[in-house]
Structure 1
């Protein structure tokens, strides 16, 4: 598990295994957000397996699969809803990048693009190609 803190309330990670979820709960995390589509993983890390393991560990669970290149307004809204709840959260996908992308898009219009891109870069994610989309979403918010 490669946790990278984006905000005090949100870490993103590469693929997490069901066996790692009790340790996340013990570390104080309350929410697990799965951004990895089932067709990218085997049954041992499927949505249903992860949901069961998360619930057994006492974590709230959200499944918001992000297929590369297919960002939808519904996906951004669902991610924003998952991030709005109380408690520390972990969002994951294959590398953590897609989870960082969705986080940045949920913050468009609430934080400057430079700030969002800088935060992601500090965590090791180059989201500079996302700037036009962040700015477009921000202009709709205003």
Structure 2
């Protein structure tokens, strides 16, 4: 499991496995967001499998699937709502973490500037500079 901390209460990750979820609980996370569609690639755990594993681990699980490069407002609003209502640390994952960190930057629950969001993503290992115009809106 490779976590990229974005803020003290938010991190992103590439694809998780069911046995990773107990480790997240032990690390202080209480919410997981999956941004993948089922069956994007062979061997990927299903959303149902991950939801069941999250329940066993005591984590809230949310599924907000988006396809690469497309971030509809309904998904951004749903992501923001989960982040705003979470009581503790949140981890979002997709195939590489890029969709998850992009949704977080677009949701902007901390009301950070575009520069700050791009810089946070850069420190976490993701380049969101191509989204500057949308982040400035």
TM range (shorter): over 0.9
Q: Which is further off, 87-96 or 100-109?
A: 100-109
Match of 1:140 in 2: none
Q: Give runs of aligned pairs for residues 91-130 of structure 1, distance below 5 A.
A: 91-107=92-108, 110-130=111-131
Distance 1:131 1:48, change over 3 A: same
TM-score (norm 2): 0.94
Q: Which has the higher helix share?
A: 1
Distance 1:131 1:109, change over 3 A: farther
Gaps of 5+ in 1: 137-142
Residue 39 (structure 1) shift: 2.7
Asked if 2 retains the 8 angstrom alpha-carbon contact of 1:108 and 1:134, the reply is no
Residue of structure 2 in register with 1:139 after alignment: none
RMSD: 1.5
1:6-28: per-residue Cα shift (whole Å, max 9, x none)?
01110100000001111111111
The residue aligned with 1:71 is: 71
Which stretch of structure 1 is more off in the superposition, 34-43 or 118-127?
34-43
1:73-88 matches, within 5 Å, as: 73-84=73-84, 85-88=86-89
Gaps of 5+ in 2: none
Contact 2:13–2:97 (CA under 8 A) maintained in structure 1: yes
Measure, in 2, the Cα distance between the counterparts of 1:7 and 1:41: 29
Counterpart of 2:23 in structure 1 is: 23
